[in-house]
Amino acid sequence: MSRILTRQQLVDAHACKDQVDLFEKTFGDAVDVTVELAVSVVDMFDWDFAANNFLSKVALDRYNDATEPLWRDYKEATNEAPYDNFKVRQAWRNFTMATAPLWAELYISEQKK
């Protein structure tokens, strides 16, 4: 399953210029969102922005419930070991590797409604 996301949707949601430009450079004017695609660009895009702007309230609540423990782990890593780059990077990686596919799953699932 997939669902279209357009450059114009980012513009309309007031995404920053860098993200709009990156979207256009990477995908052109539109892309068929799949979980696999989201994972392939996991480090490139702001998934929280996408969640807050392109998911319904119900889907956003599910996204936040699922990602909150990983966000908390990341914040703890930055507070406890700000100079332990490996621990901070690993916590960030865990967070982003969960958020991208989750966002895509929720975004695609809302197309059916």
Using alpha carbons, list the distances in angstroms from residue 77 to 44, 69, 89, 96. 22, 12, 9, 15
pTM over 0.85: yes
pLDDT tens per residue across span 8-51: 999 999 999 999 999 999 999 999 999 999 999 999 999 999 99
Domain ranges of the chain: 3-112
Look at residue 88 and tell me whether its pLDDT is greater than 90: no
Output the average pLDDT for the chain. 93
**pLDDT at 24 (0 to 100):** 98
Using alpha carbons, list the distances in angstroms from residue 72 to 54, 80, 92, 98, 105. 23, 12, 10, 13, 22
E strand or H helix at 14: none
DSSP state of 30: E
pLDDT tens per residue across span 89-99: 888 899 999 99
